[in-house]
Amino acid sequence: MAMKEWSGPCLGGTTSTPTHQVTTAERRSCVLPRMGTRGVVKMLLGRGDVKPDKPCRFGETPLWWAVKNYHEGIVKLLLGRGDVNPDQLIGDNQTPLYWAASGGHEGVVKTLLGRDDVDPDKPDNHGRTPLWGAAFNGRDGVVKTLLGRDDVSLGRPDNYGRTPLWSAVENGHEGVVKILLGLDDVGPN
């Protein structure tokens, strides 16, 4: 039985079989976190020719794919290495923490926040922080986790003047609005 051709985002639209994906050293470390196969990722990370922090054609790193797809175990495997940058900027200069917070991936957020080399208040190109992304998407649990830190700005606006509270109100996220209004440092104006 022939393998189906597959076109993946790391390949820029080129086609290949799954076998090509896992046997091409340049691509293997980028593709596997999308698959969520922790054992295979662990095996590949043990090889000397895999560069686990190498971005794909469009800038996505294996850590980004693992965060985006909520593969907490793979995130931990990657972060366990000394050659993976947990604060690597992707896309609009968004960090893995921004993506985890926006996606509501509390376990991944806590894993990233447990590191000294992750800036929990780093803005992207639009001035949006992980708290802003969590508030915008109504991620109550992540908002509470981020607010439990001293190094997160509560009312920091993005480049367009929109604060985390504004973004939660605009999107009708009542739970996040209630959390933010319950803080002494955040007002409705």
From 85, 110, 128, the end of a domain falls on 85
Residue 120: inside a domain: yes
- Predicted pLDDT of residue 147: 95
Residue 11: inside a domain: no
**What is the count of structural domains for the chain?**
2
Q: What tens digit of pLDDT does each residue of 115-134 get?
A: 999 999 999 999 999 999 99
Do 117 and 76 lie in one domain? The reply is no
Do 45 and 133 lie in one domain? The reply is no
Do 79 and 135 lie in one domain? The reply is no
CATH number, domain containing residue 62: 1.25.40
Residue 182: inside a domain: yes
Q: How far apart are CA 69 and CA 90, in angstroms?
A: 15
From 85, 108, 129, the end of a domain falls on 85
> Quick check: helix, strand or coil at residue 155?
coil
- Predicted pLDDT of residue 17: 31
CATH number, domain containing residue 174: 1.25.40.20
Do 74 and 115 lie in one domain? The reply is no
Do 104 and 188 lie in one domain? The reply is yes
- Predicted pLDDT of residue 132: 97
Beta-carbon contacts of 56 under 8 Å, excluding residues fewer than 6 positions away, are 9, 10, 11, 27, 30
> Quick check: helix, strand or coil at residue 90?
strand
Nearest to 97 by CA among 126, 128, 53, 73: 128
**142 sits in which H/E element:** helix 140-147
Q: What percent of the chain has pLDDT over 90?
A: 46
Q: Can you give the residue range of the structural domain that contains 81?
A: 25-85
Average pLDDT, the chain: 79
Q: Is the pTM of this model over 0.75?
A: yes
Mean pLDDT of 182-189: 70
